[in-house]
């Protein structure tokens, strides 16, 4: 039976109500005077409640909320959700510590919840990183994710403590592995063996030698180097911003207030003037849509489209302008090649250095890249382009409190086309953040306790088109040992294969050498051992373990194919769990469901075997469908302008079904 050390000295009704075994999340019957739960002062998604997610999934860190003087809480790991969380009320100061069995403790500092989110968490709780905790201890903002930064050094000590706990409890196999760590009763009993309570100042002020001696006194010999600890911190920071990023359209609304009510934002909009009034028929407008994803290496890429042109009506809303452009202006494809200037994990700013911006190449003669020059991710939810209602809500400010300093947070972009400068604003959402990959499902040589492992996994994806006049494409991929996905195209494929192929376009895994060589390539060149150019296309977003309530023993895949070299697949979206509105008729919406890889047969297979029955399905256990927003919107335009044959041809690439097959050369590996 697992104990919850929520109150250190007395057994109260709160403690007596706790139960839980085998690492399952404990439940609590709250006191009659409030709605507290075991892992927070309020219930997730309730009014003025901020649930926070620990970037490292640790179960059992004690904390208090400043708004609740009666109760103490612990973080809990939810195996079904794959996260460890706590909750306090908006504006609280959260004090963290590790409670011993009796009166001694290890103090871990305090965090101002406003620094994470000034609004209730709802469905997108903010992340609490090790660097956030370290800042609460040092009161110094980290200046860079560097092992020489004073605050990062403290985060590294926190990583050493967690890794030492995990190794002591046989929950992690190596010093750099990130897996759920449960703080056990014996770990807390060992705190009582320390000379005294360890204050935050003591923990920060230790020399490296003193810290190592103290950690050894608490948990025994657990050698974890500074290099390994920094690797953990760096990987967690990459994951903290890894997600899908998507602007929303402002469409079909009759009043400006309805835009926020219907779509939540204006998306990417602008024009060739300083003021983009919907009633101004002389201006040339741009509005756009895209999907970006950041992978586990912290690299961001994606695909989208834009419309640029004038409207011949004096309108009253941005949505009205956009709806008219969509039917009268031919869309142009935008491609974001892999970049590292997206959301900075420390500052949450786009292109923190304000030098390069984040760029989309636009497929149009005379068009320079569209450059997102600035923007700050607010409350782990949104980048907002102005100081309007959305910004005021996310920053908890009144309109009268907005100053010129706030303008540095707004999402802004610019683009030069044929010598004319366009500029505008950007509202977008952060969706589907990544989590750790559980070794019971995502098994590698480094993490598995078994004699066999599955990843890197080599496979072929076959893309079929709804329009059967388009040739199917068979694309080789590898899901690497870190959980990122790249192409695995065989060597010596002709550059014009999409034009010359008879039947299926074959970009599949090479039968002989396709399952050998490096799975993780140089992040900048992406050249494999055969000197074949490969392309970054996706990531594993999370694992579902055997105990998951939905889709047990699966992994969730998300992919964006964003390069001209991928031919008819350029712009393909897989597993994005999104719906994109294309017109007033909802039946024409672009729907991209999930993509789940069933792992049970792989996990039970013997070494040297290529198991059968390894399939990819959506969450309803149906065939996975993929879509291409650029092609779909060409279909919308083609319906209005049927004489445009190019758009009609592009529309044929709008999507279809996708199937998954293990590569012929792949087998489960022996450790």
- Cis amide prior to 456 (ω within 30 degrees): yes
Query: Do 20 and 97 sit in the same domain of this protein?
Result: yes
What integer best gives the mean pLDDT of the chain?
89
Q: What is the pLDDT of residues 47-58, one digit of tens each?
A: 899 999 999 999
| pLDDT value at residue 573 | 96
In the three-class reduction of DSSP (H, G, I as helix; E, B as strand; rest coil), residue 301 is classed as strand
Do 386 and 457 fall within a single domain? no
Among 2-16, 184-198, 272-286, 360-374, the minimum mean pLDDT is found in 2-16
Alpha carbon 380 to its chain's center: 11
Whole-number pLDDT of residue 22: 30
Distances (CA, A) of 198 to 7, 108, 201: 18, 9, 8
Phi, psi of 34 (to 5 degrees): -160, -175
Inter-residue contact 98 to 61 (CB < 8 Å): yes
Higher-pLDDT residue of 648 and 587 is 648
CA atoms within 13 A on the CB side of 113: 30
Tell me which of 402, 431, 460 is where a domain ends: 431
What Rg, from alpha-carbon coordinates, does the chain have? 26
pLDDT value of position 303: 98
Q: Mean pLDDT over residues 89-106, rounded?
A: 95
212: Cβ contacts below 8 Å, ≥ 6 apart? none
Is residue 3 in a domain? no
- Judge contact between 342 and 295, C-beta under 8 A: no
Distance CA 669, CA 608 (A): 6
- Asked if 557 and 597 count as a contact pair (C-beta separation under 8 A), the reply is yes
Residue for token pair 């500052």: 347
Give the domain range for residue 71. Answer: 13-217
Instruction: Grade residue 260 by pLDDT with cuts at 50, 70 and 90.
Output: very low
Terminal alpha carbon distance of the chain: 34
Tokens of 200: 């935050």
Q: pLDDT tier at 175 (50, 70, 90 boundaries)?
A: very high
- Whether residues 466 and 615 fall in one domain: yes
Name the nearest CA neighbour of 335 among 152, 497, 508, 571: 571
Mean pLDDT to the nearest integer, 238-258: 69
Q: What is the DSSP string of 400-465?
A: GG--GGGGGGS-EEEEEETTEEEEEEE-EEEES------TTTS-BTTT-SSSEE-BSEEEEEEEEE
Cα-Cα-Cα-Cα dihedral sign, residues 665, 666, 668, 671: positive
Q: Decide: residue 623, CB within 10 A, 0-12 exposed, 13-18 middle, 19+ buried.
A: middle
State whether 334 and 206 are in the same domain. Answer: no
pLDDT digits (tens, 9 = 90+) for 576-604: 887 776 655 555 667 778 999 999 999 99
Residue 520 three-state SS: coil
Cβ 288 vs Cβ 413: under 8 Å: no
Q: What is the pLDDT of residue 250?
A: 61
201 and 251 within one domain: no
CA nearest to 372, candidates 249, 274, 290: 290
Query: Which position has the token pair 């494929």?
Result: 493
Check if the beta carbon of residue 284 is closer than 8 Å to that of residue 345: no
Q: Which residue has the higher pLDDT, 27 or 502?
A: 502
Q: Collect all residues with Cβ–Cβ distance below 8 Å to 585 and sequence separation of at least 6.
A: none
The answer on pLDDT for 13 being more than 50 is: no
In a domain, 398, yes or no: yes
**357 and 475: one domain?**
no
Report phi then psi at 315, rounded to 5.
Answer: -110, 170
Whether the pLDDT of residue 168 is over 70: the answer is yes
Give the per-residue pLDDT at 584: 55
Contacts with 93 (C-beta within 8 Å, 6 or more apart), sequence order: 65, 66, 110, 111, 112, 113
Q: Which of 309-323, 390-404, 646-660 has the lowest mean pLDDT?
A: 309-323
Sign of the CA dihedral with 451 first, then 455, 458, and 460 last: positive
Please give the structure tokens belonging to residue 308. Answer: 């640029």
The reply to whether 615 falls in a domain is yes
Same-domain pairing of 390 and 477: no
Confidence (pTM): 0.91
Q: What is the pLDDT of residue 251?
A: 56
- Structural contact between residues 263 and 255, judged by C-beta atoms closer than 8 angstroms: no
547 and 403 assigned to the same domain: no
Find tokens 């592995």 and name the residue: 177
Lowest pLDDT segment from 294-298, 351-355, 663-667:
351-355
Quote the percentage of the chain above a pLDDT of 90.
78
Pick left, alpha or beta for residue 542 (phi over 0 → left; psi -120 to 50 → alpha; otherwise beta): beta
H and E: helices and strands count for the chain: 14, 36
Characterize 108-136 residue by residue with b for buried, 16 or more Cβ atoms within 10 angstroms of its Cβ, and e for exposed.
bbbbebbebbbbbbeebbbbbbbbbbbbb
pLDDT at 255: 35
Residue 262 has pLDDT above 90, yes or no: no
Residue that the structure tokens 């004690």 belong to: 62
Query: What are 182's strand-pairing partners?
Result: 59
- Res 38: pLDDT: 85
Within a domain: residue 24?
A: yes
Are 364 and 491 members of one domain?
no
Residue 229 forms part of a structural domain? no
CB-facing half-sphere around the CA of 347: CA atoms within 13 A: 16
Q: Are 611 and 505 within one domain?
A: yes
Q: Please check whether residue 442 lies inside any domain of the structure.
A: no
Q: How far apart are CA 417 and CA 367, in angstroms?
A: 4
Residue 477 placed within a domain: yes
Choose one of 399, 431, 463: the last residue of a domain: 431
The Cα–Cα gap between 358 and 413 comes to 9
Cβ atoms of residues 581 and 251 within 8 Å: yes
The answer as to whether 524 is a domain residue is yes
* 148: its two tokens: 């020489």
pLDDT exceeds cutoff 80 at 33:
no
Identify which of 507, 467, 464 has the alpha carbon closest to the alpha carbon of residue 632. 467
pLDDT at 549: 77
- Any idea of the CA torsion for 186, 192, 198, 199, to the nearest 10 degrees? 100
The whole-angstrom distance between residue 347's C-alpha and the CA centroid of its chain comes to: 16
What is the arithmetic mean of pLDDT over 197-203?
97
Q: Which of 85-94, 202-211, 384-393, 511-520 has the lowest mean pLDDT?
A: 384-393
Q: How far apart are CA 176 and CA 158, in angstroms?
A: 13
pLDDT greater than 50 at residue 257: no
- pLDDT tens-place string over residues 474-527: 999 999 999 999 999 999 999 999 999 999 999 999 999 999 999 999 999 999
pLDDT at 143: 96
192 to 64, 188, 272, 378, 621: CA distances (angstroms): 21, 7, 68, 41, 51
Q: Tell me the range of 2-6, 148-152, 591-595 where mean pLDDT is highest.
A: 148-152
Number of domains in the chain: 3
DSSP tag of 115: G
Same domain (yes/no): 506, 427: no
Least confident of 122-136, 446-460, 509-523, 572-586: 572-586
Sign of CA dihedral 605, 611, 617, 620: negative
Q: What is the pLDDT of residues 412-424, one digit of tens each?
A: 999 999 999 999 9
Cβ neighbours, 10 Å, residue 571: 28
Q: What is the mean pLDDT of residues 167-183?
A: 94
Q: Which residues pair with 290 in a beta bridge?
A: 304
Choose the final residue of a domain: 182, 217, 252. 217
Shared-domain flag, residues 427 and 456 = no
């Amino acid at each position: 039976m697992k104990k919850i050390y929520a109150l250190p000295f007395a057994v109260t009704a709160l403690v007596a109500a706790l139960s839980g075994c085998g690492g399952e999340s404990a439940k609590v019957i709250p006191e009659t005077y409030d709605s507290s739960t075991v892992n927070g002062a309020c219930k997730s998604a309730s009014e003025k409640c901020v649930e926070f997610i620990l970037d490292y999934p640790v179960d059992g860190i004690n904390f208090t909320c400043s708004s609740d003087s009666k109760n103490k809480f612990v973080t809990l790991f939810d195996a079904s959700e794959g996260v460890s969380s706590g909750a306090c009320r908006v504006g609280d100061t959260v004090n963290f510590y590790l409670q011993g069995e009796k009166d001694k403790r290890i103090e871990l500092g305090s965090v101002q919840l406003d620094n994470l989110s000034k609004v209730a968490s709802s469905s997108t709780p903010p992340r609490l990183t090790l660097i956030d905790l370290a800042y609460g201890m040092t009161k110094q903002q980290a200046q860079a994710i560097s092992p020489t930064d004073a605050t990062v050094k403290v985060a590294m000590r926190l990583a050493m403590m967690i890794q030492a706990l995990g190794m002591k409890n046989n929950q992690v196999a190596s010093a750099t592995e990130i897996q759920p760590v449960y703080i056990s009763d014996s770990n807390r009993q060992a705190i009582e063996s320390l000379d005294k309570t360890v204050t935050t100042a003591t923990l920060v002020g230790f020399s490296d030698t003193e810290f190592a001696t103290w950690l050894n006194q608490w948990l025994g010999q657990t050698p974890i180097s500074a290099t390994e600890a920094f690797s953990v911190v760096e990987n967690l920071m990459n994951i903290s911003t890894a997600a899908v990023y998507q602007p929303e359209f402002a469409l079909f609304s009759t009043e400006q207030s309805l835009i926020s009510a219907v779509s939540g934002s204006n998306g990417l909009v602008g024009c060739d003037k300083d003021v983009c009034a919907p009633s101004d028929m002389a201006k040339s407008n741009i509005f756009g849509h895209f999907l970006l994803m950041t992978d586990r290496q912290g690299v961001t890429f994606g695909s989208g489209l834009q419309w640029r042109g004038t409207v011949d009506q004096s309108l009253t809303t941005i949505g009205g302008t956009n709806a008219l452009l969509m039917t009268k202006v031919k869309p142009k494809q935008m491609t974001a090649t892999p970049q590292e200037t997206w959301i900075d994990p420390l500052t949450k700013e786009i292109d923190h250095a304000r030098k390069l911006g984040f760029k989309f190449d636009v497929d149009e003669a005379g068009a320079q890249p569209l450059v997102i020059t600035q923007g700050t991710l607010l409350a782990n939810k949104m980048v907002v382009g102005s100081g309007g209602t959305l910004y005021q809500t996310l920053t908890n400010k009144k309109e009268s409190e907005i100053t010129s300093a706030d303008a540095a947070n707004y999402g802004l972009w610019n683009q030069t086309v044929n010598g004319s400068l366009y500029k505008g604003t950007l509202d977008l959402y952060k969706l589907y953040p990544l989590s750790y990959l559980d070794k019971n499902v995502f098994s590698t040589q480094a993490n598995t306790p078994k004699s066999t492992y599955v990843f890197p996994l080599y496979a072929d994806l076959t893309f079929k088109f709804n329009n059967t006049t388009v040739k199917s494409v068979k694309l080789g991929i590898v899901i690497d040992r870190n959980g990122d996905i790249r192409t695995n195209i065989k060597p010596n494929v002709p550059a014009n294969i999409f034009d010359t192929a008879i039947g299926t376009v074959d970009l599949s895994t090479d039968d002989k050498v396709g399952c050998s060589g490096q799975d993780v390539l140089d992040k900048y060149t992406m050249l494999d051992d055969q000197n074949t150019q490969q392309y970054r296309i996706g990531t594993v977003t999370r694992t579902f373990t055997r105990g998951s309530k939905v889709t047990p023993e699966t992994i969730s895949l998300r992919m964006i194919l964003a390069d001209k070299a991928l031919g008819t697949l350029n712009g393909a979206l897989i597993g994005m769990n999104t719906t994109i509105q294309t017109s007033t008729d909802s039946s024409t919406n672009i729907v991209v469901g999930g993509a789940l890889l069933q792992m049970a047969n792989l996990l039970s297979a013997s070494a040297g075997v290529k198991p059968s029955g390894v399939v990819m399905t959506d969450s309803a256990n149906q065939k996975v469908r993929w879509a291409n927003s650029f092609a779909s919107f060409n279909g919308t335009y083609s319906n209005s302008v049927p004489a445009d044959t190019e758009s009609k041809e592009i529309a044929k690439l709008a999507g279809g079904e996708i199937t998954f097959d293990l590569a012929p050369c792949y087998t489960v590996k022996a450790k």
